Amino acid sequence: MTISGNQNHDGHQDENSAGNDGVPAGNHLAYGILGDDPTTSSEKLEKYTGEVTWDYLRPHFTSGALLYVDPALSLTEVGHAFANDDAEQVREWRKTGDLVTPSAPHAAYWEESKARFRALVVSPFVLIQPLDPK
């Protein structure tokens, strides 16, 4: 998985930049799913979802692209909200703490514990949920 630049759901560069809450300055998210792919949104979400280690996620954390999704939520549902420009739902999850930008203590813990995650790329973000330790 890789992250491309800010692209809207039509694959064009987005002129809005993301704010601290992960929602761009405009009234919509305009991110879309990674790549110009003729498959459906659901197929793309499945295609760009996988299990990863913290080592893979570290650069995305450093760049500010990482968003932690509470395990009570469906990672796919959150991905659909981003892909469908559902800024109101994303703001609600941010407000309730169900969708957060990880901080340095999170990163240190995940580094130490060799954490594994289920990750979903929805450009420019990487959404993550922890996997149960095995």
Domain boundaries, the chain: 1-134
Phi/psi for 25 (5° steps) reads: -60, -30
The 10s digit of each residue's pLDDT in 43-90 is 777 777 899 999 999 999 999 999 999 999 999 999 999 999 999 999
Whether the CB-CB separation of 68 and 61 falls below 8 Å is answered with: no
- The more confident residue out of 134 and 31 is 134
| pLDDT surpasses 80 at 100 | yes
For residue 66, what are the β-bridge partners? Answer: 126
What value does the mean pLDDT of the chain take?
A: 78
pTM, full prediction? 0.70
Structure tokens at 120: 């979903």
